A and B are shown apart, each in its own frame.
Chain A
Amino acid sequence: MLRVDVVKQLGAFALEVSFASEGRAIGLFGASGAGKTSLINMIAGLLAPDRGMIVLDGETLDDTTKQLHIPAHRRRIGYVFQDARLFPHLDVRKNLDYGRRMNGLAPDPAQEARVIDLLNIGHLLDRRIGALSGGERQRVALGRALLARPKLLLLDEPLGALDQERKAEILPYLTRLRDEVGIPIVYVSHDPDELRLLASQVAVLKAGRIVAFGGTDVLPV
């Protein structure tokens, strides 16, 4: 499903990663500074590899030998950032609808209702972003990414900015998302417990390299 084989020099930091996974829920584990975010930025197309290739479901997204780099906006890869990054000038409803409009997709009220219901954000639709709590923001960000109908969903420590209580609030939504939505996910975290709960396959990243790859048993206890 996802095949990544890339090299990227970022200042003094060298990222050299190669893995292929058929998993529907891939975990990327590593301490901060291990290169997790750079790696998924490359998968998203926000960062171009110096060398190598990225292939998703048989479609080549990057291939430096052919000077191929599909820009982020044409990849249809959803991205949920740690800091949500909702658009402050739009209300929740317009944030949710943004990806559909940008991709020129027809409205799909049934899908909208499903996502809104899944994430329990129906009561927030007319709110401004400034009036949302951290947990609500993250749920809206998840909804926004899902409603762009992506082929893959990247989740970059979506719980990282939340306290324990909020984490516990969001986690059930993430497991439902994994089980009910049918979009493969790459879940980035430095928390082994989160990954044990959410990922079926895990790559352990350390100093820009993959040091272990396999089931959740490769995670430290």
Chain B
Amino acid sequence: MFDISPTEWTAILLSLRVAVVATLVATPLGIGVAWLLARGRFWGKPLVDAFIYLPLVLPPVVTGYLLLLLLGRRGLVGEWLADHLGIVFAFRWTGAALACGVMSFPLLVRPIRLSIEAIDRRLEQAASTLGASPWKVFFTVTLPLALPGILAGMVLGFAKAIGEFGATITFVSNIPGETQTISSAIYSLIQTPDGDTAALRLVVVSVIIATAALVASEVFAWRATQRLHGH
């Protein structure tokens, strides 16, 4: 039962790579967006807010198809990116990472935004009276205080990214070794006669990864909270 085949290993490692890259690239962006939504006052903020949450409420296949229209090889932006910068997302693992990043973005942003909103802004004022410029205030006070939320967002985003299926398969298809993640491998195996055992193996692997991520997030959150409450 636990004799994992090379194809399955490939899918597992690809899933991890896709989810890790998606999370690492999305996190700085997510912190920026969360900060804007928490602190910014600008025209059209409700629209930006709604746009960020769109992947959460749209059918994943719609998001995947929109990505294809936009960033496919002949897509609105994709063609330009490919011709001028040589960047291709369609049917590449990078495209899978992009799809996962987009799909997990709302889940990543939300806890970060909440933690930034919960920060006592008077601490930031105190920092500025001590000579900290707005950037220094951000990096020495805001960011460390938002850390529990950032870690929670990263774990949620990672968990979503590793499980993403609909948008990924629509955007980059299901190519073993390139875009076949655990989810799409399970999907393929279920459709294959005698694929049940292999599918089950990958299901167990998924459960292990998800559980490990959740436990890690609990530990991180606990440590961060301990630190913030000064014990």
Contact = CB atoms under 8 A, between A and B. Distances in A.
Interface of A: 44-46, 71-79, 81, 83, 85, 87-89, 98-99, 102-103, 128-131, 144-145, 148
Instruction: Tell which of B126, B128, B129, B133 has the most Cβ of chain A within 10 Å.
Output: B129
B228 A88 contact: yes
A14 to B, nearest CB: 23
Task: Return the 6 tightest CB-CB contacts between A and B, nearest first.
Answer: A130-B230, A128-B230, A99-B130, A103-B131, A102-B131, A85-B126
A87 B145 CA distance: 9
A89 B115 CA distance: 14
Given A46-B125, A85-B123, A102-B136, A144 B130 contact: yes
Contacts of B128: 45-46, 71-73
Contact of B230 (A73, A79, A88, A145): A88
B131 A148 contact: yes
Nearest to B133: A73
B126 A73 contact: no
A144 B131 CA distance: 12
Nearest to B120: A85
Contacts of B133: 73, 102
Interface in B108-131: 120, 122-123, 125-131
A89 B129 contact: no
B122 A81 contact: yes
Contacts of B228: 88-89
Most buried by A among B120, B132, B230: B230
A88 B122 contact: no
A102 B132 contact: yes
Nearest to B229: A130
B144 interface: yes
DSSP majority for the A interface?
A: mixed
A72 B124 CA distance: 11
Interface string B131-153: 11110110011001101000000
Interface of B: 120, 122-123, 125-134, 136-137, 140-141, 144-145, 147, 227-231
Nearest to B125: A46
Contact of A131 (B123, B126, B147, B230): B230
A47 to B, nearest CB: 10
Nearest to A84: B126
Contacts of A46: 125, 128-129
Given A73-B132, A130-B229, A131-B230, A89 B125 contact: no
Nearest to A104: B131
A219 to B, nearest CB: 27
A76 B128 CA distance: 10
B123 A77 contact: no
A78 B129 contact: yes
A75 to B, nearest CB: 8
Nearest to B126: A85
B145 A89 contact: yes
Contacts of A129: 230
B3 to A, nearest CB: 48
A131 B228 CA distance: 12
Contacts of B144: 89
A144 B123 CA distance: 13
A202 B228 CA distance: 39
Nearest to B143: A89
Contacts of B140: 98, 102
Contacts of A102: 127, 130-133, 136, 140
Contacts of A103: 130-131
28 contacts: A46-B125, A72-B128, A73-B130, A73-B132, A73-B137, A74-B131, A75-B129, A76-B131, A78-B129, A83-B122, A85-B120, A85-B122, A85-B125, A87-B126, A88-B145, A88-B229, A89-B147, A89-B227, A89-B228, A98-B132, A99-B130, A102-B127, A102-B132, A102-B140, A128-B230, A130-B230, A145-B129, A148-B130
Given A73-B132, A89-B144, A131-B231, 13 more contacts: A44-B129, A72-B125, A72-B129, A73-B137, A79-B129, A81-B126, A85-B120, A88-B123, A88-B228, A102-B130, A103-B131, A130-B229, A144-B130
